Amino acid sequence: MGHAVPNTNTVSAVARLPGRLDLFVTGNPDDEDHAGIYTARSNPDGSWSGINHDWFRIGRDVHTVPVGNTVAAVAPRPNQIDLFVVGNDGGIYTARSNPAGNWGGVNHNWSRIGRDVHNVPMGNTVTAIAPGPNQIDLFVTGNPDDDDHAGIFTARSNPDGSWGGLNHNWFQIGHPVVHTVPVGNTVGAVARSPNQIDLFVVGNDGGIYTARSNPDGSWGGVNHNWSRIGRDVHNVPLSNTVTAIAPGPNQIDLFVTGNPDDDDHAGIFTARSNPDGSWGGLNHNWFQIGDPVVHTVPVGNTVAAVAPRPNQIDLFVVGNDGGIFTTRSNPDGNWGGASHNWFRIGRGDQNVPEGNTVTAVPRQPSEAGGAVDFTDWLEVDADRNLAKGTLHGAPVSLSGSDVGASSVTDQTFPWFAGPFFSPAVSMSDVLEIRGLPGFSYVLTFGSPVRDPILHLASLASRVDFPPGTVLSKVSGQETFQVVDSSVMGAVLSVGPPNDANGTVRLIGDFDSLSFSVTPLFDAAQGDGIWFQVGAAAAALAPPPAAPATDLLVVGHNGGIYHTSEQEGQPWASWARIGYKEFLVVHLKSLLQIDPPTAMTTFINTGFNRLAQLLSQFEIRVFRGTTEDLSGNSALAHLVNVDVGECNNGTTDEQDELFANRNRVGAGDLVVYFVQSTTPPFGGCATHPDGRPGAIVVQAATSVAPGASQWTLAHEVGHVLGLDHVDNTDRLMTPGNITNPPPDISADEVDTMLESDWTRGCSPDPSGW
Amino acid sequence: MAVSIEAVLAFLDQVEPQYGEAVRLGPDAVPHLRRLVQEEDPMRASKAAYLAGLIDGDESPAVLEQASQRDEPAVRVAAAYAAQHLTRAPPELFDRLLSDYDDGVRRTALKSIGVSRPSGLTAKVEELASGDEADHVRELARETARQLGS
């Protein structure tokens, strides 16, 4: 996806695991009428990464829906996501993730729920809730008996989670003629328990109506229990959506925009059920949150609500100027304070189209469970390929194909102190295990552990856990990846530790863990891997974690923006998920970088400066391979490379240097690090046709270290089409940058986006 | 016309100096360059050495002599590369550069000798052609020896 969607779309999100969000949105229409369905997944730390921030399409080109439709998403279990959307024919379609939470299967598992006659108006939104791990209930307005009014229909999954039964269990709640609502309305639904579902919808008269399932979960009673909340004066515009949350089993809170004081602006109103779940009291408890005149929003806006903890409700809505506003209930769960606590999240220029809906999702942060301890490995029997140790006082053992004698049991292994491992351990025990085809291992815990984490260093193998095992990458290099139930390493010569390094968490409670280790390269001796396992100290009874709330909204430019808040911390800055363009840069050094030297630091710093700088302009820079060419005697003569005048054409030595594109993609850039150029330059960006890249001279100076850390970014700027400018605050100044970090102008951003070497979508307008 | 140090640095502190324009500073810039090749910043020293050679003033050989004695190979490489532009390069300058422990300096000196063809270096070049420890230096030395007519 070009990381832009129609700018009035709504993003859906589920938080099925601590610290992880899955997003869904319809976008990137191939034609004016139909759009695909896209997803992105966050890292456990809440950040977004991966190619295109992991945005990818669910389904093939033929799986499109009407432009602007909203996808409903639920996660009945940590390893299952179910999507629901109205398709091009008005049918309701679903897709279920694979057991690892990924998408695959025939057509990415899209299938229709119901027969041809079970169609709804094409722009409708399905409401989905999962009251329990084996139950999903759907609600939708549809099948109008006349042009203006539609009934409310429901379907419930079978106990095994499948859809079947007569008409896939679709039936209407209420009388076919009497209990109708304006065509296109969306149903609000909450489940206070698996057998108690409450529905809310705006009726034909603008009143807000509710229906409650019977104690056995069925729908029945007089009028299927439909009744109105509030009196005749408590009407809202006919197409509004009621937002409902149930902070506890005896409380439901409703929120709706309505009762406009003028034609364009409406206040935000709430009602709370009585402690027994019924509705009563003065005006059925409806009242406005905020000042009747000041705190209004465009008519028809939808309020997002979350209840991250008892007695706290947070609301989010798009205001009259397109800003995103929030309010929080007081500790007693009521609303008060100055302006009823409404305030804006973000700067004044961070606006979205005025009718957009904010998506809010509460989640548990990934660090739930307290401090992590690691196994104290006590003995390693290399002859029997068996290691024994203790974790939290309980025995742990690892047996398998090759548990090496090089394992460390005296707490002196240093590599887990590095930046790729979380939590880092200054000194640790470690087991050396080996990967070869057919090699497998079993880790056995004397006492069950919850959400164990593995530190894996020097991984040039694929580690496969049983299908369905839910893995979550905690930290590590980009080349250290989780794919379904596997951890993928990489073959890299830079280190130590070389290859790929990182930490992965396994979600769930485990008595034992089995896994196989298969090298990603062809070597008879196999792949030596450093292995350590840990878990939170009181993992089976974690203390309550501070909840976090994530917000998502679509901006004017169709970009999808995210922010989050964790208890005790302010809202993070809004950041776009996905980039306009991306760029891949490989780094090859003719000076030694492995084992690490000052040159290694210089390269890392230079790359990080480039990546940080361009990320501000929504250009993602991916670090490709890093290669130490210092041992290649055939290239020794290029350590001081002749670059001529470095303005037109290339020299023979440049041609020879730039021919080294081992493991480099056709459109990728390579930056070569050399001792010097002749004549002396800090860097040079002239390159042979079709071999984009630049030369950067080693850290030039100890007296002016700030000057050279931007040279890589400056040279890449040239490669992307930028010329020098007469302004020392800018990246492309020919001289020293006087006010780092340097600036890049909007025109320069456009030039880079138009470069052949940045890839992705067409340039978007700047800003939201 | 006097040349200020600021005018010199305006060229040398560029990432990619425009040497073709900087050379117009002329011999008056060389005293500044002589001071700059002694500065701690090796990048600035390298650029100063090269510009001194390019200007080819009376004091330029002395600047390159100083640069050729710096600890940083990159500065000595710059001196070796600049030497090709000297009308009267002192033989001892090339001799020192050809004897440098860094193969990059020796190689660059050979390149300059191939361009400027100074006299009195044939024996030293032949010595490198037959016995230099670096393959690429031996190879270039053989080619340079042929150019020198040995």
Q: What is the mean pLDDT of residues A420-426?
A: 84
Q: A592, A635, A637: which to substitute to probe chain B, counting the most B Cβ within 10 Å?
A: A637
Rounded Cα distance between A266 and A299, Å, is: 5
Select the residue of A640, A678, A701 nearest B43 (Cβ to Cβ).
Answer: A701
Q: What is the mean pLDDT of residues A608-636?
A: 88
Mean pLDDT lowest for which of A530-539, A718-727, B27-36, B89-98?
A: A530-539
Q: A676, A709, A710, A715: which to substitute to probe chain B, counting the most B Cβ within 10 Å?
A: A676
Cβ(A505)–Cβ(A451) under 8 Å?
yes
Select the residue of A676, A684, A700 nearest B77 (Cβ to Cβ).
Answer: A676
Rounded Cα distance between A461 and A470, Å, is: 19
The residue among A312, A314, A338, A316 whose CA lies nearest residue A325 is A316
Q: Chain B residue with minimal CA distance to A676?
A: B74
- Of A369-383, A541-555, B123-137, highest mean pLDDT: B123-137
Residue B136 contacts A, CB cutoff 8 Å? yes
Select the residue of A675, A679, A735 nearest B19 (Cβ to Cβ).
Answer: A679
Question: Which pLDDT score is estimated for A767?
Answer: 44
Tell me the chain A residues in contact with residue B103 when contact means C-beta distances shorter than 8 Å.
Answer: 636
Asked if the Cβ–Cβ distance from A703 to B41 is below 8 Å, we say: yes
To the nearest whole percent, how much of chain A has pLDDT over 70? 90
Cβ(A102)–Cβ(A486) under 8 Å?
no
Cβ(A109)–Cβ(A103) under 8 Å?
yes
What letter would DSSP give residue A403? Answer: B
Rounded Cα distance between A245 and A18, Å, is: 21
Residue A733's pLDDT band (cuts 50, 70, 90): very high
- Cα–Cα separations (whole angstroms), residue A423 to A350, A367, A426, A534: 35, 10, 10, 10
A297 sits in which H/E element: strand A296-298
Residue A637 contacts B, CB cutoff 8 Å? yes
Residue A646 contacts B, CB cutoff 8 Å? yes
Asked if the Cβ–Cβ distance from B17 to A736 is below 8 Å, we say: no
Question: Which pLDDT score is estimated for A763?
Answer: 31
Asked if the Cβ–Cβ distance from A639 to B104 is below 8 Å, we say: yes
Q: Chain A residue with minimal CA distance to B107?
A: A637
In this predicted model, which residue has the larger pLDDT, A565 or A589? A589
Q: Which long-range contacts (CB under 8 A, 24 or more apart) does A609-615 make?
A: A609/A709, A609/A710, A609/A712, A609/A713, A609/A741, A610/A585, A610/A712, A610/A713, A610/A716, A612/A741, A613/A713, A613/A731, A613/A741, A613/A742, A613/A744, A614/A583, A614/A713, A614/A752, A615/A579
Distance from CA of A382 to the nearest CA of B (A): 45
Phi, psi of A455 (to 5 degrees): -90, 125
- Of A27-36, A271-280, A737-746, highest mean pLDDT: A737-746
Q: Is A295 exposed, middle or buried (0-12, 13-18, 19+ CB in 10 A)?
A: buried
Asked if the Cβ–Cβ distance from A697 to B74 is below 8 Å, we say: yes
Rounded Cα distance between A1 and A24, Å, is: 12
Question: Which pLDDT score is estimated for A648?
Answer: 82
Residue B144 contacts A, CB cutoff 8 Å? no
Q: Chain B residue with minimal CA distance to A705?
A: B41
Phi, psi of A652 (to 5 degrees): -60, -40
Asked if the Cβ–Cβ distance from A679 to B81 is below 8 Å, we say: yes
The residue among B129, B62, B71, B56 whose CA lies nearest residue B98 is B129
Question: Which pLDDT score is estimated for A53?
Answer: 57
In this predicted model, which residue has the larger pLDDT, A88 or A347? A88
Which residues are within 8 A (CB) of A233 and not within 5 positions of it... i.e. 6 or more apart? none
- Cα–Cα separations (whole angstroms), residue A439 to A377, A434, A453, A501, A607: 21, 8, 21, 20, 37
Distance from CA of B103 to the nearest CA of A (A): 8
User: Predicted ipTM?
Assistant: 0.96
Residue A514 contacts B, CB cutoff 8 Å? no
Question: Which pLDDT score is estimated for A126?
Answer: 93
Asked if the Cβ–Cβ distance from A736 to B108 is below 8 Å, we say: no
Asked if the Cβ–Cβ distance from A676 to B46 is below 8 Å, we say: yes
Tell me the chain A residues in contact with residue B15 when contact means C-beta distances shorter than 8 Å.
Answer: 681-683, 711, 714-715, 734-735
Residue B23 contacts A, CB cutoff 8 Å? no
- For the stretch B3-33, pLDDT in tens is 999 999 999 999 999 999 999 999 999 999 9
Residue B90 contacts A, CB cutoff 8 Å? no
- Cα–Cα separations (whole angstroms), residue A237 to A83, A182, A267: 29, 10, 12
Q: What is the mean pLDDT of residues A60-66?
A: 79
For A259: left if phi > 0, alpha if psi spans -120 to 50, otherwise beta; the answer is left
Rounded Cα distance between B125 and B96, Å, is: 12
Rounded Cα distance between B129 and B114, Å, is: 14
Question: Which pLDDT score is estimated for A541?
Answer: 43
Task: Give chain B's end-to-end CA distance (angstroms, integer).
Answer: 45
Distance from CA of A690 to the nearest CA of B (A): 23
What does pTM read for this prediction? 0.61
Select the residue of B49, B77, B140 nearest A640 (Cβ to Cβ).
Answer: B77
- For the stretch A233-285, pLDDT in tens is 778 888 889 999 888 778 889 999 987 777 788 889 988 888 777 787 777 77
Residue A571 contacts B, CB cutoff 8 Å? no
Q: What is the mean pLDDT of residues B68-76?
A: 95
Tell me the one-letter amino acid at A657: L
Asked if the Cβ–Cβ distance from B15 to A700 is below 8 Å, we say: no
Residue B47 contacts A, CB cutoff 8 Å? yes
Residue B71 contacts A, CB cutoff 8 Å? no
A82 sits in which H/E element: strand A80-86
Select the residue of B14, B44, B108 nearest A678 (Cβ to Cβ).
Answer: B108
Tell me the chain B residues in contact with residue A676 when contact means C-beta distances shorter than 8 Å.
Answer: 46, 73-74, 77-78, 104
Tell me the chain A residues in contact with residue B109 when contact means C-beta distances shorter than 8 Å.
Answer: none
Query: Is the pLDDT confidence value at A367 over 70?
Result: no
Residue A652 contacts B, CB cutoff 8 Å? no
Helix (H, G, I), strand (E, B) or coil at A363: strand
Question: Which pLDDT score is estimated for A704?
Answer: 43
Q: Chain A residue with minimal CA distance to B39?
A: A703
Residue A648 contacts B, CB cutoff 8 Å? no
Asked if the Cβ–Cβ distance from B41 to A700 is below 8 Å, we say: yes
Asked if the Cβ–Cβ distance from A684 to B73 is below 8 Å, we say: no
Asked if the Cβ–Cβ distance from A679 to B108 is below 8 Å, we say: no
Q: Chain B residue with minimal CA distance to A699?
A: B43
Structure token pair of residue A681: 């330059």
Query: Is the pLDDT confidence value at A701 over 70?
Result: no
Query: Is the pLDDT confidence value at A148 over 90?
Result: no
Average per-residue pLDDT in chain B?
94
Tell me the chain B residues in contact with residue A590 when contact means C-beta distances shorter than 8 Å.
Answer: none
Question: Which pLDDT score is estimated for A44?
Answer: 56
Phi, psi of A309 (to 5 degrees): -155, 165
Residue A693's pLDDT band (cuts 50, 70, 90): very high
Residue A57's pLDDT band (cuts 50, 70, 90): confident
- For the stretch A86-118, pLDDT in tens is 988 888 999 888 765 667 667 777 888 888 777
